[in-house]
Chain A
């Protein structure tokens, strides 16, 4: 599972920066130039870019957890191998992204500590439950599909190390998406109970998938630093519409029904009715859709989602049970691994 670097941050203004350097920087970025770690950059840019890369890295390693739990239950040798490889990829993405963030001035250990103590966040979509194998199929299809759309635009950003990492990651995400699509098609061409399992999982994951791109755009979206400095090159609402345009017809073609659902605090669906807004606007080519429940979205972001505590607890466990190992390597005489 992968994630967006769609982090909400507040950055200070640039009044303390050298105006000439700032003007040259902004012109360079506006003309499509890349920023490298040793180039001059406003402190606000460094801070925002660090937080984006760190949030993205956190999301990759937390995103590995829900899928990782299903490796041991994967129902065929092929699926077991593919899922292990996919989760391994996500950890690898985390490793690369922490390197990007490290170059901006924060150690990996500090980032891992901030993650487990709740100082920093990870992507919201990983706070929802995965009660069945079909959830794993939907995550690989929908969430990785959403990530590809988002990261495709991030790969045209302004920070060199980040966009080069995005390009590498996106190639792997394309495999993940195909893996997800194959699993969904297998279920939807399977037995009645497999189809039902797929529909129930789709009902759980459709809303987190369209919420994946973050809250609705603000009126001044294009003037905000992330867009002005080309860290992001598309707005949340544009990406969401592209996602629906692509996945709504694809889902319906498999026989899945796009429902508007209500859920309880544990993320269980309590009611599901076909989305009344779902229709193609022939003029614009856009599919209509019901917006996610933003109230619930923000409740989960604040830490009160169905799985926030479990995910953080497992990351904390991983960090703590590995402390003696990392210390042994640093203390030892054998060539050290990176920490």
Chain B
């Protein structure tokens, strides 16, 4: 199915924005490490992850553009704070602590892996085709971050303690990834999306296997709190958005 019913366009845009905004801002924050990561090889790898995420975001913004007829850069750069739909874990500051960056990356990468796996079964073929393509790279991200979890968890007592602390700090933000985009049920009701398993349970099983291999844990619980998916963002997001828009907003109609 290539055509999307008029009444499903708004819920689809909400869903795609939650995905694209997560990817854009995760890449944005990860690019902070380009040039200053703890090891040159890790620097190069993390920069590739950032580029992948920004490129994935671009592809989803383009898909949104096919629905609402807007330009990708205008969508990515040209909204007000409460129009962004990312979960705030993607912009939560890691304070240039590598353990924080790794914990944030683990939670987001595994979430995206399961999200893309589910969307790749969508009946709307533009979404399933794009999700399948990106899922292949997302799998590499999960492998890469799993290796880092093992490096730190199985490194020495200091690195294990730092990693555990970071996992604890970011866990309450991780569950906010599961806040549902508005109108998601309508896409299910129209059979655009179908799920054969529980999203949260799948995700938790994946991270538990990875964390067990490194002797660390994640304790978290789902909540009904409204956050980024509803356009309610914290100060870290506001700062990230200001950076993102700093040059663009000097003349949003100019070519850069």
Instruction: State the A residues within 8 Å of B (CB).
Output: 61, 64-65, 68, 71-77, 79-81, 84-85, 87-88, 90-92, 94-95, 98, 108, 133, 186-187, 190-191, 193-194, 314-315, 317-318, 321-329, 331-334, 337-339
Alpha-carbon distance A76/B50, docked complex (angstroms): 15
Alpha-carbon distance A91/B73, docked complex (angstroms): 28
Closest 8 pairs between A and B when the two form their complex, measured CB to CB: A322-B38, A328-B155, A328-B159, A64-B35, A68-B35, A318-B36, A88-B47, A325-B38
User: Does the CB pair B147–A76 fall under 8 Å?
Assistant: no
Q: Tell me, yes or no, whether B165 is within 8 Å of chain A by CB.
A: no
| 8 chain-A/chain-B pairs, Cβ below 8 angstroms | A72-B28, A75-B247, A76-B73, A91-B44, A191-B254, A324-B158, A332-B155, A334-B155
User: Does the CB pair A71–B254 fall under 8 Å?
Assistant: no
Q: Which residues of B contact A186 (CB under 8 A)?
A: 255-256
Contact indicator per residue, chain B 22-41, by CB within 8 Å of chain A (1) or not (0): 00000110011011111111
User: Does the CB pair B154–A337 fall under 8 Å?
Assistant: no
Q: Tell me, yes or no, whether B58 is within 8 Å of chain A by CB.
A: yes
Q: Which residues of A contact B44 (CB under 8 A)?
A: 88, 91-92, 95
- Given A74-B247, A95-B40, decide whether A331 and B77 contact each other with a Cβ distance below 8 A: no
Q: Tell me, yes or no, whether B67 is within 8 Å of chain A by CB.
A: no
Q: Which residues of A contact B27 (CB under 8 A)?
A: 84
User: Does the CB pair A76–B155 fall under 8 Å?
Assistant: no
User: Does the CB pair A84–B159 fall under 8 Å?
Assistant: no
User: Does the CB pair B154–A72 fall under 8 Å?
Assistant: no
User: Does the CB pair B39–A314 fall under 8 Å?
Assistant: no
User: Does the CB pair A91–B244 fall under 8 Å?
Assistant: no
Q: Which residues of B contact A338 (CB under 8 A)?
A: 39, 41
Q: Tell me, yes or no, whether B51 is within 8 Å of chain A by CB.
A: yes
Q: Which residues of A contact B150 (CB under 8 A)?
A: 332, 334
User: Does the CB pair A190–B51 fall under 8 Å?
Assistant: no
> In chain A, what residue has the closest Cβ to B29?
A72
Q: Tell me, yes or no, whether B76 is within 8 Å of chain A by CB.
A: yes
Q: Which residues of B contact A87 (CB under 8 A)?
A: 34-35, 47
Q: Tell me, yes or no, whether B173 is within 8 Å of chain A by CB.
A: no
The residues in B between 213 and 256 inclusive whose CB is less than 8 angstroms from any CB of A are 240, 243-244, 246-248, 250-251, 254-256
Q: Which residues of A contact B76 (CB under 8 A)?
A: 77
Alpha-carbon distance A246/B155, docked complex (angstroms): 53
Name the residue in A79, A91, A194, A328 with the highest tally of chain B Cβ atoms < 10 Å from its Cβ.
Answer: A328
State the Cβ distance, B218 to closest chain A Cβ, in Å.
19
User: Does the CB pair B248–A76 fall under 8 Å?
Assistant: yes
Q: Which residues of B contact A317 (CB under 8 A)?
A: 36, 96
Q: Which residues of B contact A318 (CB under 8 A)?
A: 35-38
Alpha-carbon distance A167/B244, docked complex (angstroms): 35
The residues in B between 149 and 190 inclusive whose CB is less than 8 angstroms from any CB of A are 150-152, 154-156, 158-159, 162
State the Cβ distance, A68 to closest chain B Cβ, in Å.
4
Q: Which residues of A contact B250 (CB under 8 A)?
A: 193
Instruction: State the B residues within 8 Å of A (CB).
Output: 27-28, 31-32, 34-44, 47-48, 50-51, 54-55, 57-58, 61, 72-73, 76-77, 96-98, 147, 150-152, 154-156, 158-159, 162, 240, 243-244, 246-248, 250-251, 254-256
State the Cβ distance, A307 to closest chain B Cβ, in Å.
14
Contact among B41, B48, B154 for A95, CB-based, below 8 A: B41
Q: Which residues of A contact B39 (CB under 8 A)?
A: 322, 325-326, 329, 337-339
Name the residue in A68, A84, A95, A194 with the highest tally of chain B Cβ atoms < 10 Å from its Cβ.
Answer: A84
State the Cβ distance, B104 to closest chain A Cβ, in Å.
15
User: Does the CB pair B254–A190 fall under 8 Å?
Assistant: yes
State the Cβ distance, B256 to closest chain A Cβ, in Å.
4
User: Does the CB pair A322–B37 fall under 8 Å?
Assistant: yes
Contact among A74, A91, A190, A321 for B98, CB-based, below 8 A: A321
State the Cβ distance, B40 to closest chain A Cβ, in Å.
4
Alpha-carbon distance A337/B40, docked complex (angstroms): 10
State the Cβ distance, A310 to closest chain B Cβ, in Å.
13
State the Cβ distance, B17 to closest chain A Cβ, in Å.
15
Q: Which residues of B contact A84 (CB under 8 A)?
A: 27, 31, 34, 47, 50-51, 54
Q: A74-B247, A91-B35 are in contact. List 12 more A-B contacts (CB 8 A).
A: A64-B35, A71-B34, A81-B54, A84-B27, A95-B41, A318-B37, A321-B98, A325-B39, A328-B156, A328-B158, A331-B159, A332-B151
User: Does the CB pair A81–B34 fall under 8 Å?
Assistant: no
> In chain A, what residue has the closest Cβ to B152?
A328
- Given A77-B72, A79-B256, A95-B44, decide whether A325 and B98 contact each other with a Cβ distance below 8 A: yes
User: Does the CB pair A75–B37 fall under 8 Å?
Assistant: no
User: Does the CB pair A326–B38 fall under 8 Å?
Assistant: yes
Q: Which residues of A contact B154 (CB under 8 A)?
A: 332-334
Q: Which residues of B contact A332 (CB under 8 A)?
A: 150-151, 154-156, 159
State the Cβ distance, B90 to closest chain A Cβ, in Å.
13
Q: Which residues of B contact A76 (CB under 8 A)?
A: 73, 77, 248, 256
Contact among B34, B158, B244 for A88, CB-based, below 8 A: B34
Alpha-carbon distance A324/B39, docked complex (angstroms): 11
User: Does the CB pair B147–A334 fall under 8 Å?
Assistant: yes
Q: Which residues of A contact B246 (CB under 8 A)?
A: 73
User: Does the CB pair B155–A329 fall under 8 Å?
Assistant: yes
> In chain A, what residue has the closest Cβ to B37?
A322
Q: Which residues of A contact B31 (CB under 8 A)?
A: 68, 71-72, 80, 84
